[in-house]
Amino acid sequence: MLSNSLIELDRAHLVHPVASYRGHEAAGARVLASAKGAIVTDASGHHLVDGFAGLWCVNAGYGHESIVEAAARQMRQLPYATGYFSLASEPAIRLAAALAERAPGDLNHVYFTLGGSDAVDSTVRFIHYYWHARGQPQRDQFITLQQGYHGSSTVGAGLTALPAFHANFGVPLNWQHKIPSHYPYRNPVGSDPEAIIAASLAALQAKIAEVGGPERVAAFYAEPIQGSGGVLVPPDGWMKAMRERCRQYGILFVADEVITGFGRTGPLFACTDDDIVPDLMTVAKGLTSGYVPMGAVLMSDHVYGVIADGAGASAVGHGYTYSAHPVSAAVGLAVLDLYENGLLENGRRAGARLMAGLRALQDHPLVGEVRGRGLLAAIELVTDKEKKTPLPASAEPSRRIFDRAWANGLVIRAFPTGVLGYAPPLCCSEIEIDDIIERTARTLDQTLADPDVR
């Protein structure tokens, strides 16, 4: 069979991201064959609701002809244009302008990358350049949050705070520091929003002092909702309080919206909900809805201006062959058009239904907490609700729960910590959202029956 020979070829040649290589070889690949809307179909014809939009990226859903047409048209007309030598393509210029117009505040300057990791890398390069241009090169320390994820490049993996991205990789680097997450469900100060905000501000202050004072700190990074750390939603006002404190210290504030951007939480950018304007913002994923790779850094007028003036007649030596790729930009414009002509609205309705449906599972014996905003949600599983005891590692949550959900016709993210992550496409119908809930309930019942879950 075609799919058997594919599985053999995969096992022999395709190295998978964030996988146990030997575990993957033993289990074999699940080959996806096609997709439409919110439904993916594997090579054996099994249909599943994609409750995770690929890797929280196919926000528009699969199979939009307008996106395919935009890419094909651009490939025929001009498949590539470098941004070097002051060259540009029309879609890249138009997408940069469209993002600047829609982004909060004065984030008017857009540097396109190939995805989120190199967008984060680019912020680090720009921020170093900024502080050199301001005559403060000693501002070279970077602070991020525990449970944060900021990519898988060497620099980004060091800013990331998930152990698997550090072990055996020689990161974090000595200028990369972490403070505890807000994580309301497991915060030692309890779940009171004011107490959590006060604790985060105190932790930031202590870390700043530890690294030598504000004059040593270049930037602080936060995701509006921590995604890969387990969909951790800060209390209302947390982002604003952290942003303001950074402003007081003259520390640049970077909002990493790689997951939260493009309708995932409701608006085009989650920073809008938080009522903040960061100094820099990173986006990717929903920018092209995963149809082709692209990310971006948005910079404020001030940050861009300092870098531009600092460089003067010299080149700012940062650039990729595929920066501002015209095909990706054309896709970005087509996707934006879909968001603004019904998808954001549908996503908000679907998000309210998803959250209500998941919250209705709160009484299940394994459900410790349901959390989320819009179409970005999680269920944290525990074996004892009172003590908040995590699922034992012996229950292999990320493999067994993923497998059960898959057999039930549902794709979710099952984190090793026993957290189930949801990020379905914005195009989901009411029936598809209800299917996600019903299949989750079935998966939870099957998990409860697993003798290793005690």
User: Contact positions toward ligand PMP, by CB under 6 A?
Assistant: 115-117, 120, 149-151, 223, 227-228, 256, 258-259, 284, 295
- Of 56 and 366, the one with the shorter C-beta distance to ligand PMP is 56
CB of 284 vs ligand PMP, minimal distance in Å: 5
Cβ partners under 8 Å of residue 125, min gap 6: 318
- Of 293 and 368, the one with the shorter C-beta distance to ligand PMP is 293
Query: For the range 18-21, what are the long-range contacts, defined as Cβ-Cβ under 8 Å and sequence gap of 24 or more?
Result: 18/152, 18/164
Spacing of C-alpha 104 from chain mean position? 18
- Which strands form 295-299's sheet, in the order they lie side by side? 109-113, 295-299, 280-283, 252-256, 217-222, 141-145, 176-179
CB of 199 vs ligand PMP, minimal distance in Å: 22
CB of 18 vs ligand PMP, minimal distance in Å: 10
- Of 383 and 415, the one with the shorter C-beta distance to ligand PMP is 415
Tokens of 168: 């055996």
In the bound complex, which residue of the shown chain has the CB atom lying closest to ligand PMP? 116
* Contact between 414 and 381 (Cβ < 8 Å): no
CB of 138 vs ligand PMP, minimal distance in Å: 27
CB of 228 vs ligand PMP, minimal distance in Å: 5
CB of 194 vs ligand PMP, minimal distance in Å: 26
Output phi, psi for 153, to 5 deg: -80, 170
* Contact between 242 and 193 (Cβ < 8 Å): no
Tell me whether residue 206 is exposed, middle or buried, using C-beta atoms within 10 angstroms of its C-beta: 0 to 12, 13 to 18, 19 or more.
exposed
> What is the SS3 assignment for 53?
helix
- Measured CA to CA, the distance from residue 290 to residue 284 in angstroms comes to 9
Output phi, psi for 317, to 5 deg: -80, 65
CB of 263 vs ligand PMP, minimal distance in Å: 15
- Of 318 and 349, the one with the shorter C-beta distance to ligand PMP is 318
Of the candidates 377, 385, 403, 381, the one whose C-alpha atom is nearest the C-alpha of residue 393 is: 381
CB of 172 vs ligand PMP, minimal distance in Å: 15
- Of 336 and 376, the one with the shorter C-beta distance to ligand PMP is 376
Of the candidates 66, 92, 65, 67, the one whose C-alpha atom is nearest the C-alpha of residue 78 is: 92
- Of 368 and 372, the one with the shorter C-beta distance to ligand PMP is 372
- Of 296 and 444, the one with the shorter C-beta distance to ligand PMP is 296
Cβ partners under 8 Å of residue 313, min gap 6: none
CB of 245 vs ligand PMP, minimal distance in Å: 21
- Of 227 and 397, the one with the shorter C-beta distance to ligand PMP is 227
Of the candidates 155, 288, 290, 284, the one whose C-alpha atom is nearest the C-alpha of residue 218 is: 155
Strand partners, 282: 256, 297
Output phi, psi for 47, to 5 deg: -95, 140
- Of 151 and 357, the one with the shorter C-beta distance to ligand PMP is 151
